[in-house]
Chains A and B, each alone.
Chain A
Amino acid sequence: MDESRPIFLQIAGQIENDIIAGVMSEETQVPSTNELAAFYRINPATALKGVSLLVDNGILYKKRGIGMFVSTGAQAQLIGTRRDEFAAEFVRPLLTEAAKLGISTEQLTDMIRKEKTS
């Protein structure tokens, strides 16, 4: 676990990653909060908070007496949100660092292309 962010956000993020990657497909059951707590070695209340966040966002839904399931359309919804965040979280810091090192936008594009083909 990374110290800089609340753990429940990281738990939610891990589940989101698994949904985006297709490891957890839509309409399948996700691990219970006790299983998540044991696996990540965290307090079950923290795991529940992470799962509840995804329920509030419509990514997961609860089947009474059975458990939590991935909603239909969750993958597309998550990819959409992540793309919006991509510019702010990755592209902007990339440009800041590039500016610090005197890398022009053109050089940067070249570097990305080279990295992609290598």
Chain B
Amino acid sequence: MTKVIEVSGLSKRFGAVTAVDDVSFTVEENKIYGLLGRNGAGKTTLMQLLTGQDFATSGSIQVFGQSPVENATVLQNISFIKESQRYPEDFKVKHVFRSAPWFFANWDQEFAEQLIADFRLPLDRRIKKLSRGQLSSIGVIVGLASRAPLTFFDEPYLGLDAVARQIFYDRLLADYAEHPRTVILSTHLIDEVANLLEHVLVIDEGRIIIDEDAETLRGSATSVVGTRTAVEAFVADREVLHRDGIGGLASVTIAGLSPAERRDAAAAGLELSPVSLQQLIIRRTNTSEKEFEVSA
């Protein structure tokens, strides 16, 4: 596998705040990555560093084998769609789509026009008259139609309704299948995008806490529910991710189970319930707060 991004020992400090804290990871070519994490976890800072829009405090970044900072060769292969994208004051929508092809070698005008129709974007309207959702759809269309070898979507759909988000997911998947490229999608809506992702990076307080294949992650946790004694006996030798309980009942999230173990659990009268990617990430990024005192 060709590595598109290689990051090693990367840190970014703003005064006393460490936004990215000694991070190392690689991104392989032609995969869809999810960069997930809570607000302020460091997602946007990390993407700004990867796209050469900010300087690292320490550590190294290689994108297409080179440093992205002030590097036209690297940057012309990158499309970075930001939540907070600004456009010139008096621009109309059509001006954005007239200028976008100047920046992207693979720009597909036909695809862009089809997406404009899909999202029902009014071309003659001034940018400042657009709704929040329409503004977001401009970014989404530019990101898709640019077909850049490395595309970043940073919370691309603020204000987009459910229909428009589904259009985005469907067009992304279809176009990615025909024109494979590396996509890094940062979002809070984990459940919506979970099935689109091939690999998941979870960042929390500036550190990468999960760097895992999405399919491996999916089967990696199960909740066991039942009477406290039965549950505790079953999970005794296992790593517990989360505990909850009320009265004599307990619900414990543990690592994934084999079919045989699932049958053992059922035979012991325990109920098993799946843990979605979103729940799993919440559990991993919020463990201390709701940790159940088992010893009590």
Contacts and interface: CB of A to CB of B under 8 A. Distances in A.
Contacts of B196: 41-43
B30 to A, nearest CB: 9
Contacts of A3: 218, 274-276
Interface string B250-270: 000000000100010011010
A41 B173 contact: yes
Contacts of B276: 3
A44 B274 contact: no
A8 B173 contact: no
Nearest to A100: B269
A37 B198 contact: no
B263 A92 contact: yes
B153 to A, nearest CB: 15
Contacts of A20: none
Contacts of A6: 215, 218-219
Contacts, number: 66
A1 B259 CA distance: 18
B266 A93 contact: yes
B222 A46 contact: no
B272 interface: yes
A5 B272 CA distance: 12
B177 interface: yes
A43 B267 contact: no
Contact of A96 (B32, B169, B266): B266
Contacts of A40: 195
Interface in A1-30: 1-8
Tell me the dominant secondary structure on chain B's binding face: helix
A34 interface: yes
Given A7-B195, A34-B178, A44 B173 contact: yes
Contacts of B219: 5-6
Interface in B123-164: none
A108 interface: no
A112 interface: no
A43 B214 contact: yes
Interface string B62-92: 0000000000000000000000000000000
A85 B222 CA distance: 22
Contacts of A100: 269
Interface in B209-246: 214-215, 218-219, 222
A37 B195 CA distance: 10
B197 A43 contact: yes
Q: Tell me which of A4, A6, A38 has the highest count of chain B C-beta atoms within 10 A of its own C-beta.
A: A4
A48 to B, nearest CB: 10
A66 interface: no
B177 A46 contact: no
B269 A43 contact: no
A2 B198 CA distance: 17
Contacts of A98: none
Nearest to A34: B177
B177 A41 contact: no
The 9 closest A-B pairs by CB, nearest first: A4-B274, A3-B274, A34-B177, A42-B195, A43-B198, A6-B219, A3-B276, A45-B198, A44-B177
Interface of B: 31-32, 169-170, 173-174, 176-178, 195-198, 214-215, 218-219, 222, 259, 263, 266-267, 269, 272-276
Given A44-B176, A45-B198, A46-B215, 13 more contacts: A3-B276, A4-B273, A6-B215, A38-B170, A41-B169, A42-B173, A43-B197, A43-B214, A45-B31, A88-B263, A92-B263, A92-B267, A93-B263
Interface of A: 1-8, 33-34, 37-38, 40-46, 49, 88, 92-93, 96, 100
